[in-house]
């Protein structure tokens, strides 16, 4: 039986500073204060995200990502002999348009970082929703240079062999998920999204990026079956079923306005990463000046896959407030109406 989790949920969780303010100003009893502090410490959906400043695409991304791994407690022992799938966001290519796709040098940096920690192999997989010639897109995006240098295998998800499993999310009209067989041969799935606004979902970040793991040969172009079943509902269901392991979001140059293709570039100058995709996306939304509670698929996933509460996401690395850049939104686009912080 289908059920709805798409209602936006707002939870009045407290930060440490807010907790102390309430304790002093509101006169909480010592017993109540201890209970509240224990709630903060023991809340099972607590998460950590790492924010790194990155002004341009000429820096050493491997070094930055390795620094993020260290801050997030990812050790060589955890990665040794693991098979890593990097899933970038490849949509279309236009000369000089670095705001559309995950930059190949960020992908290269991630591959180098995982190999440095002892990964058995790294591969890149994507199923573009617009361009049916994935290899042309790989060549024109500059990703082919990354593949040749390591060398790293590229898997065209749109034409991979498939297998079927039940839809573990259960809020869209899809009973089952048809998935590429390559997912069965890897240990970690890493979403390498681009920081962008979106015409239908409000934002497209690490969770929305999982659309590219759904084969176009089955779901159509641009994944029409998923659009008919409900974009926000399918974002929830795909992530519930696939359960990706890590996220790295390219926000050096993002996209604002009518994304994910027609928008304008905006220099945000940062990378965001973390184990919990929901927390990473909530952090990205705040960095874009967007309220994650007003993004339907993020609100639906709150307390399901993790948390979007700022009070329970520990920010490591750079300051969120110092790197926040308000992305322009288009009022006539329903998904972008009233979502500002």
Answer whether residue 3 shows pLDDT above 70.
no
- The verdict on 82 and 216 lying in the same domain is yes
**Domain assignment of residue 4, yes or no:** no
- The verdict on 99 and 77 lying in the same domain is yes
DSSP three-state, residue 52 = strand
**Domain assignment of residue 281, yes or no:** yes
**Domain assignment of residue 59, yes or no:** yes
- The verdict on 184 and 69 lying in the same domain is yes
CA distance 82 to 118: 8
- The verdict on 169 and 153 lying in the same domain is yes
**Domain assignment of residue 82, yes or no:** yes
**Domain assignment of residue 1, yes or no:** no
List the one residue out of 173, 174, 135, 179 whose CA is nearest residue 154: 135
What is the tens place of the pLDDT at every residue in 96-128? 689 999 999 999 999 999 999 999 999 999 998
- The verdict on 29 and 64 lying in the same domain is no
Q: Quote the mean pLDDT of the chain.
A: 88
Give the ranges where 230-276 is alpha helix by DSSP (H). 231-242
What is the tens place of the pLDDT at every residue in 121-170? 999 999 987 777 778 878 888 888 878 877 799 999 999 999 999 999 99
Q: Which domain holds residue 80?
A: 47-336
- The verdict on 177 and 268 lying in the same domain is yes
Helix or strand (DSSP H, E) at 260: none
Q: What is the pTM of this model?
A: 0.88
124 has which bridge partners? 86, 154
- The verdict on 29 and 112 lying in the same domain is no
For the chain, how many structural domains are there in total?
2
Lookup: tokens for 237:
């269901």
Collect all residues with Cβ–Cβ distance below 8 Å to 184 and sequence separation of at least 6. Answer: 163
What is the tens place of the pLDDT at every residue in 173-186? 999 999 999 999 99
Residue reference for tokens 């945000």: 268
- The verdict on 214 and 332 lying in the same domain is yes
- The verdict on 117 and 192 lying in the same domain is yes
- What one-character DSSP code corresponds to residue 113? H
pLDDT attached to residue 120 = 96
List the one residue out of 180, 190, 133 whose CA is nearest residue 157: 180
Burial of 79 (C-beta count, 10 Å sphere; 0-12/13-18/19+): buried
């Amino acid at each position: 039986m289908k059920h709805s989790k798409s209602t936006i949920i707002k939870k009045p969780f407290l930060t440490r500073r807010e907790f102390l303010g309430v304790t002093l100003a509101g006169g909480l009893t010592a017993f109540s204060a201890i209970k509240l502090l224990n709630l903060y410490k023991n809340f099972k959906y607590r998460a950590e995200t790492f924010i790194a400043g990155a002004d341009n695409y000429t820096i050493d991304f491997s070094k930055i990502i390795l620094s993020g791994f260290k801050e997030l407690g990812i050790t060589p022992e955890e990665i040794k002999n693991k098979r890593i799938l990097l899933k970038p966001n490849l949509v279309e290519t236009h000369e000089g348009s670095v705001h559309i796709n995950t930059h190949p040098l960020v992908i290269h940096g991630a591959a180098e970082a995982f190999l440095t920690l002892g990964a058995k192999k790294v591969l890149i997989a994507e199923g573009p929703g617009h361009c049916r010639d994935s290899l042309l897109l790989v060549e024109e995006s500059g990703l082919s240079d990354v593949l040749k240098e390591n060398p790293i295998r590229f898997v065209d998800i749109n034409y991979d062999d498939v297998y079927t499993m039940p839809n573990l999310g259960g809020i869209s009209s899809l009973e089952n998920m048809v998935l590429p067989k390559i997912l069965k041969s890897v240990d970690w799935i890493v979403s390498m999204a681009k920081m962008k606004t979106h015409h239908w979902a409000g934002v497209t970040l690490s969770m929305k990026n999982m659309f590219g793991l759904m084969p176009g040969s089955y779901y159509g172009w641009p994944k029409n079956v998923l659009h008919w079943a409900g974009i926000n509902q399918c974002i929830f269901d795909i992530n519930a079923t696939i359960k990706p392991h890590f996220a790295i979001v390219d926000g050096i140059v993002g996209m604002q306005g009518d994304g994910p293709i027609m928008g304008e570039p905006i220099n945000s100058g940062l990378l965001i990463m973390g184990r919990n995709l929901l927390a990473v996306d909530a952090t990205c939304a705040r960095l874009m000046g967007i309220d994650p509670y007003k993004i339907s698929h993020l609100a639906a996933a709150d307390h399901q896959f993790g948390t979007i509460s700022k009070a329970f996401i520990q920010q490591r690395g750079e300051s969120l407030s110092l790197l926040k850049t308000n992305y322009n939104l288009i009022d006539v686009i329903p998904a972008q109406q009233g979502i500002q912080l």
